Structure 1
Amino acid sequence: MTTPRFDILGQAISDASRTRMLCELLDGRAFTNKELASAAGVTPQTATAHLRILKEAGLVLAEKSGRCVYHRLAGPEVAQALEQLAAIAPADSLYRAQQRKAGGLATVRSCYDHLAGPLAVAMAKAFLSQGMLIDENGGYRAVPSDLWHRIGVLLPDRPGRQPFVRPCLDWTERQPHVAGPLGRQILTHGLDVGWLKRHKHKRGLVVTAPGRVAYDQILDVRPEVAASA
């Protein structure tokens, strides 16, 4: 029987600088070596060594575009694992620093390819209370509703190999938000129609004035503490 090499993963995430790099990558975007070095507070040379360890552990991928090399998380399963670990990690100075970087209290942010933070948790509760989602054995099942289309979600005709929607424990709220293709569609639609905007240098997102109205009218969710644009 093959034994999972938890020791390799443990070594990769045991350094605070590498942890900062992974947190920087949690919003799903790709960054250069220099950008990640700045986020971690180390030199580009040191960042190169750290990224090599993260790549060897299968946590990060490198992609070349023109003259630049960009680094991103290896996939959504890596983001999910990191989010789960963050939810049980001690709330030390690094945790608080990441909250500030995510945008104050991190009310609206992205977790790789889906929404996270208090607004996302409120949405998950609304989906359950309005019967759009059903909690089944610790997982979620999406139920047809006219409201899905209004927030940019197209339900599949038949179940796929991977869950269309799943709960993801939010690392600041300690409650679930929605992940999977359904969560990705909500975030993508919000950005496409201008309900949400990305910060240039923060992981946090901004809920625009039209977005505040839309989420209130459609889901009865009021992002009152989120910044508006």
Structure 2
Amino acid sequence: MTTPRFDIIGQALSDASRTRMLCELMEGRSFTNKELASAAGITAQTATAHLRLLQNAGLVLAEKRGRCVFHRLANAEVAQVLEQLAALAPSSHLHLAQRRKAGDIAQLRSCYDHLAGPVAVAMTGQFLDRGMLVEENGGFRACGHEIWPKLGVSLPQKPSAVARHQPFARPCMDWTERRLHVSGLLGKQILTHFFDQGWVRRNSHKRGLQITGLGLRALEQVLGLRCEALIDA
């Protein structure tokens, strides 16, 4: 029997500078050593050592593009685990509320390749209420519904071997809301559609996203969501 090496992951997550770099990478984009060093408030030389440890732990991948080396999270599963660990990490709800009010936590953000934050949680609630998603065996099962195509979602025609190991729709515990939002390929399709339709755009706040006027109207028409109240809360 193989024993999981939790100690290797624990060591990788035990330093605040490394966790800050991982949080930066949870946006889903790739960054250079210098950019991650700046985000963590450390020197480029120190960042190099930290990134090597994260790579050895299987959390980060490095890719050479031209003269630069870019770093990204190893995969979506790593991002999901980090988001769930963030929800478990010590942090009072009052502290989170104060940070929201100060604008330090985006109300809508990307969690690697899917949406997170109050709007994403509210959307997932609508999916469940309308029978578009069903909670089953601790996970989500997507059901056929006329709304999915309006959100850019194409449901799989039949299960595949890959789908059994990587479910199409997965629950992800939201860091700030302590409630579930949807991830997996379904979540990725939704985020891609939102960008393609101009419903959201990136802002200057790290993982933060901004809902455009088009997006506000679309979500109200398609799901009956009044996002202004969620964003201003």
Question: Is 2:80–2:172's contact at 8 Å kept on the other side of the alignment?
Answer: yes
Question: Is 1:108–1:118's contact at 8 Å kept on the other side of the alignment?
Answer: yes
SS at structure 1 position matched to 2:231: coil
C-alpha deviations, 1:2-31, integer Å up to 9, x for none?
Answer: 111111111111000000000001111100
Question: Is 1:207–1:226's contact at 8 Å kept on the other side of the alignment?
Answer: no
**Which of 174, 177, 182 does residue 170 from structure 1 map onto?**
174
Instruction: Show the counterpart of 1:212.
Output: 216
Instruction: Show the counterpart of 1:203.
Output: 207
Instruction: Show the counterpart of 1:183.
Output: 187
Give TM-score scaled by structure 1 length.
Answer: 0.92
Which region of structure 1 is more displaced relative to structure 2, 152-161 or 210-219? 152-161
Question: Is 2:27–2:206's contact at 8 Å kept on the other side of the alignment?
Answer: no
Q: Does 1:193 align with 2:197?
A: yes
Q: Within 2, Cα distance between the matches of 1:188 and 1:141?
A: 20
Instruction: Show the counterpart of 2:36.
Output: 36
CA drift at 1:105: 3.6
Question: Is 2:194–2:215's contact at 8 Å kept on the other side of the alignment?
Answer: yes
After TM superposition, the structure 1 = structure 2 runs for residues 116-127 of structure 1, keeping only pairs within 5 Å, are 116-127=116-127
Give TM-score scaled by structure 2 length.
Answer: 0.91
SS at structure 2 position matched to 1:78: helix
Question: Is 1:206–1:226's contact at 8 Å kept on the other side of the alignment?
Answer: no
Question: Is 1:12–1:53's contact at 8 Å kept on the other side of the alignment?
Answer: yes
Code of the aligned partner of 1:55: Q
Instruction: Show the counterpart of 1:58.
Output: 58
Q: Within 2, Cα distance between the matches of 1:53 and 1:199?
A: 30
C-alpha deviations, 1:180-205, integer Å up to 9, x for none?
Answer: 00000000000011001012452100
Code of the aligned partner of 1:34: K
Q: Within 2, Cα distance between the matches of 1:201 and 1:124?
A: 23
CA drift at 1:166: 1.1
Q: Does 1:24 align with 2:20?
A: no
CA drift at 1:106: 2.0
Code of the aligned partner of 2:226: R
CA drift at 1:138: 1.7
Question: Is 1:117–1:172's contact at 8 Å kept on the other side of the alignment?
Answer: yes
Question: Is 2:32–2:70's contact at 8 Å kept on the other side of the alignment?
Answer: yes
Q: Within 2, Cα distance between the matches of 1:49 and 1:214?
A: 45
Q: Within 1, Cα distance between the matches of 2:105 and 2:47?
A: 28
In structure 1, stretches of 5+ residues that fail to align are none
Q: Does 1:226 align with 2:231?
A: yes
In structure 2, stretches of 5+ residues that fail to align are none
Code of the aligned partner of 1:174: R
Instruction: Show the counterpart of 1:107.
Output: 107
Code of the aligned partner of 1:32: T
Q: Does 1:8 align with 2:12?
A: no
CA drift at 1:226: 3.2
SS at structure 1 position matched to 2:62: strand
CA drift at 1:104: 3.8
Question: Is 1:124–1:176's contact at 8 Å kept on the other side of the alignment?
Answer: yes
Code of the aligned partner of 2:30: A
Q: Within 2, Cα distance between the matches of 1:206 and 1:27?
A: 14
**Once superposed, what is the RMSD of the aligned Cα atoms?**
1.8
